[in-house]
Structures are given as C-alpha cells and as structure tokens.
Chains A and B, each alone.
Chain A
C-alpha cells in the first residue's frame, strides 16, 4: 500500500518530471544538494500537513470559497515551516531565502489539495502528501546533484574530482534550465523506447 503510493508519487505522478509542476524552486534552489534536501523536507511537511487538514474539513467547506480556504490552510503550514526552519536551521533558511514563503504558491500543493485531498479521506490524503512530497524532494535532489557536481565540482560540500575546473554555468540560472531540459529529455527518451517495445 505505502510502497505503491510512493512509487506512484515518485515515478508515474512525479511532480516535476511527469506533471511539470513546481518548476520555480526546481530551477532556483537546486544549486546544492543540501538546499534541495531542505526544500524537499519543507515541501513534504507542508504538503502532508495541508492534505490532512484539507481532507479533514472538506465536507464543511462550501464549494465557492474552497480555493481561498485551501490557500489559507497551506499558508499556515508554510508559516510553521518557515518559523521552524528559522529557529533550527537558520543558515538553510537564509540560503533558501524567499523560496520558503513561496512554497505557498507552489502549484503542486494547491493541485494536490484540489484534485486529491478535497475528494479523499484523511488517511489516503496523508499518504498522497508523503508520496508526492517524496517525489518532489527526490527530483530536486537529483537535479541539485547534477548541478552541484558540474557547476562547483562538489557534492554535499565535498570536492568530487580534485583539480577539475567546474562549469560555472551550471551553478547559475541557465544551468538550471539546461539540467532540467536534459533530465526531462532522458525521461521522455525512456518512455518513448518503452512505448516502442510494447507495440
């Protein structure tokens, strides 16, 4: 049950590579693996929390005002995450900067609230939050690993190949776009190959 959900969140409904949602943080904070882990953890927390509460209150929220209600619930969790991070990981908070409060407008979270949590029970929604959150976090870590190795020749802050001069472009904005493009193409390539084999 749990492993099935996780597989769905990480592979078939992967937020970044399959649904193409939540791209801003994927490009912006994926310059180091540590940042990616921090952002991933924050998103898992917010997504799970908001999914639980939204699915809990789904029967009492009138249809017309559901979006503002959802956004308020999500914003509450983001504020909690932001304050927790400021208290226990101030350095990480400073590195992620404006992108922590911006989790509110991360399209994945509202998309899951609207398409899943508002229609399913609390247990299922919590699982969905964890699964999709893990899919997001994992994709972020993969992108960040590629960029950190190529862009600064480091992984988790340690030098990878001594003497190798890294390509600065991967550490800045264009590199983020190129990395995601390459990974998306890889995913597409595998999918196309699989489809061909099935014919």
Chain B
C-alpha cells in the first residue's frame, strides 16, 4: 500500500481541493446549517460518517457489480439509491443502538441524502486518481471519503464561526443574510487558494 498517495489524497481533500471551497459542492448545507457553531459541528460529523461508509459501499458496488457486468451507465441511479438507503439505515441503526449519537446526529441525517458532496465523492472515487494516475483503490477511496468529509467540516465550522460574529455586525441592508454569507465564503475560498502552493498537482472537478 502506498502511504504517500494516501497522504496526498488527505492533504488534497482537506486543503487544496476542499470539497466546498474549491470544488464548490455541498453549498446548500454549507449555507443552510452554518448559522450556529454547534449545529455546524454536528452536521460535519454526520457527513464524515456517511461519506466514509458511502465511499466504501459505492466503490464496492462499482468495482464488483457495475464494471464487471458493463452497467456503468447506471452509475448515477445506483449510487444515489445506495446513498439514500444507507442514510436511512444509518438512521435506524443509530436510533436502536446509540440513542446518544442519534440525538446529536439524527436531525442532520435526512439532509445528507440530498447533499451533493456525498454523491460527488462517490463519483470521484470511480474516476482516475489525479495523484497516482490510476483508478482509486479500495483504501484510497475510503480515505478520500473520510478526508473529504473532514474538509467539509473544516469549511462548515469556519463559516459558522464567522456567521455567529456576523449576526452582531451592522451590515448594509441589501447585503443582510445570504449575500454577506456568500461574500464570507468567497473570502475563505480566496484564503484557501494559498494552499495550492503545497506542491501537489491540483485535480479538476471531474
């Protein structure tokens, strides 16, 4: 197993190609759940959890079912169904076995089905890994899922911290609410551009 590629994937997913700030995915929850720090953190944890499991599952489905039987054109349908049922199942399992965890993550889980970041990571995992030039291996796909989730959490928590302060600030009337949130997001994204200098070749959205 190539440890270097795993490290590259991790740094890439969290900092260089941050799923929200560089790839511009998952913006709805990014703007919708970033009003309070605590809920942002809860949502982030739920996304890491689901993204990790979803990456593994969709990678297996793709490698053992879709590709061998030449069904790759069904990828979109199959992946979204896998993710939707996974989220439903995680919800039920958590409710039964870990009520504490369910209480903190439960309300965010239904929102994750329509979080485009989860499906996007699953799809990215089936394409060529920009750091190795080959397809993602099982372990790489899992690491990419977890790390993209962490990247999402980092962006969400940063945003929530800023928005909690923004609530107290005097903002020009037409900019109140969503526009100022977008400007803050843009400034964070601008700051994250600095990480491109880390030295790994940046990957494109596809």
Spell out A's residues near B (CB within 8 Å): 20-21, 23-24, 27-28, 67-68, 71-72, 75-76, 78-79, 82-83, 94, 97-99, 101-102, 104-107, 110, 169, 172-178, 180-182, 184-186, 188-189, 192
Contact = CB atoms under 8 A, between A and B. Distances in A.
Interface in B21-49: 21-28, 31
A79 B77 CA distance: 7
Nearest to A82: B76
A188 B115 CA distance: 27
A197 to B, nearest CB: 15
B24 A101 contact: no
A28 B81 contact: no
A184 B119 contact: no
Given A107-B114, A181-B183, A24 B24 contact: yes
Given A68-B84, A177-B182, 5 more contacts: A24-B116, A102-B120, A173-B22, A177-B186, A185-B175
B99 interface: no
Contacts of B180: 181
Interface in B91-128: 113-116, 119-120, 123-124
Contacts of A178: 182-183, 186
A104 B75 CA distance: 12
B179 A181 contact: yes
Interface residues of B, number: 46
Contacts of A79: 73-74, 76-77
Contacts of A188: 173-177, 179
B119 A174 contact: no
B178 A102 contact: no
Contacts of A21: 28
A20 B75 CA distance: 28
B139 interface: no
A189 B174 contact: yes
Contacts of A76: 77
B73 A75 contact: no
B80 A177 contact: no
Nearest to A187: B174
Contacts of A75: 76-77, 80-81
Contacts of A99: 205
Contact of B174 (A83, A176, A185): A185
Interface stretch (B7-15, B60-68, B162-170, B187-195): B187-195
A172 B26 CA distance: 17
B182 A184 contact: yes
Contacts of B146: none
A174 B186 contact: yes
B51 interface: no
A126 to B, nearest CB: 23
A100 to B, nearest CB: 9
A15 to B, nearest CB: 12
